């Protein structure tokens, strides 16, 4: 029983890291119809931005601020100089952002070198809690708590605020939203900025568990796509559901059936893609 509980907690904490990673992508693709395949690279940039601050000033909290702000500004640059000119041109968006992802990976390699780095766990969260004879890191519980907080805030913004109403209206009919005098371009820009900042936040928060290395963005991009496809685009609750499905399947597979663990997440990804392409809780973007 202890093994099952620990495995479940590991799966849930991993799911919340995936949720933080995928939430920004789901919002920008679902709300704006903009396919940013450099999203995984933004996660890695956020990790390195934050680690640079931590290594110099020995404070994770300032590293979190710098990681989120830095990737937010990078994302804003991507959107303003490139993607806003490519609305509705999905193949062009895909090619461009894949190229940017590789460019970011090489910049990271040039600036910080090829070796993997691990993040610093704050001293207040370095302990463990006992579950029977097994131990579970307190920092993973912190990740679960932070993920729940972000989920609640995003859900509230989506369903209970004027900005959320504008976003939902734009998802249904951008032209009608503009005809009501709403500057949907500004809203879209802020959504993209927020999504990029969320990727950077996830990057620095995930480093004590996942670490960081220059080519990490490729695998993270695939995980992001899996979460979004399984859960559905445009809705925070769909992203959370997709992250839980992928995170728990991956963790339980590695614990109980390691010989086929590599394929468990891919199996559910393909199944949902074939049976319900819009996701378990999602809508068609186009």
In angstroms, the CA 191 to CA 272 distance is 27
Instruction: Please give the torsion angle defined by the CA atoms of residues 142, 215, 46 and 244, in that order, rounded to the nearest 10 degrees.
Output: -40
> Would you give per-residue pLDDT tens digits along the chain (286 residues)?
678 888 889 899 999 999 998 988 888 887 677 889 999 999 999 999 999 998 888 788 899 999 999 999 999 999 988 888 887 788 899 999 999 999 999 999 999 998 888 887 877 778 888 777 778 889 999 999 999 999 998 888 877 777 777 776 666 666 677 676 677 677 778 888 999 999 999 999 999 888 899 989 888 888 888 898 888 876 788 889 999 999 998 888 888 887 777 788 888 888 888 888 777 876 554 4
Helices marked H in the chain: 2-32, 39-57, 60-81, 90-112, 138-160, 162-172, 174-179, 184-210, 216-231, 236-256, 261-275
- Domain map (residue ranges) of the chain: 2-275
In angstroms, the CA 130 to CA 166 distance is 46
pTM over 0.95? The answer is no
Tell me, which fold does domain 2-275 have in CATH? ABC transporter involved in vitamin B12 uptake, BtuC (1.10.3470)
């Amino acid at each position: 029983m202890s093994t099952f509980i620990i495995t479940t907690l590991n799966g849930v904490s991993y799911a919340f890291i995936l949720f933080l990673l995928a939430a920004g992508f789901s919002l920008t693709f679902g709300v704006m119809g903009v396919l940013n395949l450099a999203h995984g690279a933004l996660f890695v940039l956020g990790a390195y931005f934050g680690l640079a601050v931590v290594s110099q000033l020995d404070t994770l909290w300032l590293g979190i601020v710098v990681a989120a702000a830095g990737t937010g500004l990078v994302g804003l640059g991507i959107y303003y100089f490139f993607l806003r000119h490519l609305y509705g041109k999905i193949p062009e968006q895909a090619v461009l952002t894949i190229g940017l992802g590789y460019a970011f990976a090489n910049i990271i390699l040039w600036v910080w070198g090829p070796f993997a780095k691990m993040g610093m766990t704050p001293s207040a969260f370095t302990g463990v809690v006992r579950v029977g004879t097994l131990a579970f890191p307190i920092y993973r519980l912190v990740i679960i708590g932070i993920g729940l907080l972000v989920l609640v805030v995003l859900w509230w913004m989506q369903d209970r605020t004027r900005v959320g109403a504008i976003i939902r209206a734009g998802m249904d009919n951008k032209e009608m939203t503009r005809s009501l005098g709403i500057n949907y371009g500004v809203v879209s820009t802020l959504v993209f900025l927020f999504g990029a900042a969320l990727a950077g936040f996830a990057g620095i928060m995930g480093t004590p568990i996942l670490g960081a290395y220059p080519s990490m963005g490729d695998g993270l991009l695939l995980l992001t796509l899996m979460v979004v496809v399984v859960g559905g685009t445009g809705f925070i609750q769909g992203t959370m559901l997709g992250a839980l499905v992928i995170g728990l399947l991956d963790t339980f597979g590695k614990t109980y059936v390691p010989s086929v663990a590599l394929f468990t997440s891919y199996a559910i990804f393909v199944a949902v893609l074939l049976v319900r392409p819009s996701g378990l809780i999602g809508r068609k973007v186009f």
